[in-house]
Amino acid sequence: MIVGRHIGIAMVLLCILGVSGEVLAAQPVPAGPQGLLDAARRGRAEAVSQFIAAKADLNVRDARGRTPLLIATQGNHVEVARRLIAAGADVNAKDELQDSPFLYAGAEGRVEILKMTLAAGADLKSTNRFGGTALIPACHHGYVDAVNVLLATAIDVNHVNSLGLTALLEAITLGDGGKKHIEIVRVLLEHGARPNLADKEGVTPLAHATRRGYRDMIALLRKSGAK
């Protein structure tokens, strides 16, 4: 009987865990500053609007220094982000890891939110914990759409991060050499990326591409005057 009871309890727990997302979404949102953070985390746009209407602090921080907008960006809750930005949430507010809604949206290819942060005055010169602009990790991760959005701005295509890498170098050295990274190398060069700007060890983009056997990248670099 005890074994059967334990099995029954386990089944109930599994059922609860299986619908945990639905249960979480249906739970009431707490009042106070924690409520706005919680609503942003759960993607509860209507609840967020209620906090906005009540003049809540839109840049309240959680224990990790994240604002509701950064939390919404990390969850890719586009509508929540739209309402927070429209209400004046700070798109450049950084957390303990030096991530901001703008930097995170660029780095993780959250294109819709990225566009909104740019329209709201994103700081193109702001940098992450590696000293890189939003463009550099976007190139690293192969987010072509995000790269194109950022290259349509005045962002510095030749910015060098604290690791001594540019967007072009990261696309070559940290990418997989596939179609996405080839396209990124192409558009970077078209937008003025310096093909001979080497890393801290003096290794050029062409040398890195040659070491890895990235033929298409080699051809693009040489066409742009790489040596």
Domains contained in the chain, number: 2
Question: Are residue 86 and residue 177 in the same domain, yes or no?
Answer: no
Say what the pLDDT of residue 29 is. 55
Say what the pLDDT of residue 17 is. 39
Report percent pLDDT > 90 for the chain: 85
Rounded CA separation 204/191 (Å):
18
Structural domain ending residue among the three candidates 80, 103, 123: 123
Indicate whether 1 belongs to any domain.
no
Higher pLDDT, 20 or 132: 132
Structural domain ending residue among the three candidates 100, 123, 146: 123
The 10 Å Cβ neighbour count of residue 115 is 16
Q: In the predicted model, what is the mean pLDDT of residues 67-91?
A: 98
pTM (two decimals): 0.86
CATH number at residue 152: 1.25.40.20
Question: Are residue 67 and residue 84 in the same domain, yes or no?
Answer: yes
Question: Are residue 110 and residue 140 in the same domain, yes or no?
Answer: no
Question: Are residue 117 and residue 161 in the same domain, yes or no?
Answer: no
Residues 6+ apart with CB under 8 A from 52: 58, 83, 84, 87
Higher pLDDT, 27 or 183: 183
Say what the pLDDT of residue 27 is. 58
Q: List the domain range (segments joined by +) for residue 226.
A: 132-227
Up-side HSE of residue 181: CA atoms within 13 Å toward CB?
22
Q: Does the pLDDT of residue 9 top 50, yes or no?
A: no
Say what the pLDDT of residue 28 is. 56
Question: Are residue 91 and residue 153 in the same domain, yes or no?
Answer: no
Indicate whether 184 belongs to any domain.
yes
Indicate whether 218 belongs to any domain.
yes
User: Where is average pLDDT lowest: 15-24, 52-61, 98-107?
Assistant: 15-24
Q: In the predicted model, what is the mean pLDDT of residues 188-201?
A: 98
95 vs 2, 77, 199, 212, CA distance in Å?
49, 18, 29, 36
The string of pLDDT tens digits covering residues 24-70 is 444 555 567 789 999 999 999 999 999 999 999 999 999 999 999 99
Question: Are residue 152 and residue 214 in the same domain, yes or no?
Answer: yes
Say what the pLDDT of residue 31 is. 61
pLDDT mean across residues, the chain: 90
The string of pLDDT tens digits covering residues 144-163 is 999 999 999 999 999 999 99
User: Could you write out the DSSP letters of every residue in the chain?
Assistant: -HHHHHHHHHHHHHHHHHTHHHHHHHSPPPSSHHHHHHHHHHT-HHHHHHHHHTT--TT---TTS--HHHHHHHTT-HHHHHHHHHTT--TT---TTS--HHHHHHHTT-HHHHHHHHHTT--TT---TTS--THHHHHHHT-HHHHHHHHTTT--TT---TTS--HHHHHHHTS-SSHHHHHHHHHHHHTT--TT---TTS--HHHHHHHHT-HHHHHHHHHTT--
Rounded CA separation 93/101 (Å):
7
Question: Are residue 96 and residue 143 in the same domain, yes or no?
Answer: no
Structural domain ending residue among the three candidates 123, 147, 167: 123
